Amino acid sequence: MTDHSDTHTHDHDLGFAHDLPRMIGRRRLLSLMGGIGLASASGLPALAAQCVALPWETAGPYPADGSNVKDGQTVNALTQAGVIREDLRPSFGEMTPVADGLKLDLELTLQDAEGCTPLEGYAIYIWHCDTTGLYSLYDTTDANYLRGVGVADAEGKVRFTTIFPGCYDGRWPHIHFEVFESPEAAVSGEASLLTAQIALPEAEAAAVYDADARYSNGTRNLGRITIPSDNVFGDNSDDEIAQQTLAVSGDLSEGLTGSVTIPVDFTADRSAQMAPPPGGAGGPGGGMMPPPDSK
């Protein structure tokens, strides 16, 4: 598993510094502090807590941020031109594959946990698996989709368009992220200010996996895991889980919208506290993959 700490550095350069000016302050987004869940799935509002600092969690084995090695090579998407972007479905740089799946429009709000104030100009790097649990650059080596960096506007908001992530055996469905003081910090090797994960809501995830054949193993794998048994989210408090769970709305036939507020505690212990592995076999795709607790 990968663990970020105060002494952790990435092997970055500023190879796409020309991308930065056009991204900063280019959009101001409507505020969505909570949200209504899919009426067809849950029938109840999905309300997000506000200003509960999120705990540090593992980046897993597939961050592609320069912190780990695959087949003897450092894997780093953050040095590639085009990684600062809004639509995460296509690959970028020299890669061309496009991720297939149910469209998900994300609005992430970055806040200082002390005072709930927006973190304007801060950057967030997110990455997640595809519909069946595979990660670009590791499982799918010819693609770098479902990864990207966004820069917070004056309200602390960042928007991405991606797909609804799948659910692989052994882990609750989730989205990884790292928060940095600036986009320059994200690409220059500075340690993240927060490394954590966004949890997907159960009812909405179940509805997607049941309705969409592209998520062929989602229903089965979701039925094998719970938040309490997940070895990343399982030791979080109820308030932390409420804070880090995506509020989802929309139409399964047209695509979904998700919002979450990410409060950063700048004094927090910068380490991932992992619960014991829940056991069980396999990883994404059913092949010989890293253990599910590390993803």
Residue 273 pLDDT level (bands cut at 50, 70, 90): low
Least confident of 40-49, 163-172, 232-241: 40-49
Report pTM: 0.79
Residue 50 pLDDT level (bands cut at 50, 70, 90): low
Least confident of 15-29, 75-89, 266-280: 15-29
Residues 6+ apart with CB under 8 A from 238: none
pLDDT at 285: 37
Question: Looking at the predicted structure, is the pLDDT value of residue 112 above 90?
Answer: yes
The tokens describing 175, both together, are 């989205």
- SS3 track for 123-137: EEEEECCCCCCCCEC
Give the pLDDT confidence of 14-24 residue by residue, as tens digits.
Answer: 334 434 333 33
Percent of the chain having pLDDT more than 90? 69
CA 143 to chain CA centroid, Å, is 17
Least confident of 34-38, 185-189, 237-241, 266-270: 34-38
Q: Between residues 73 and 99, which one has the greater pLDDT? A: 99
pLDDT at 295: 55
Per the listing, tokens 């949890």 go with 199
Per-residue pLDDT, averaged over 126-135, amounts to 98
- Mean of per-residue pLDDT scores for the chain: 81
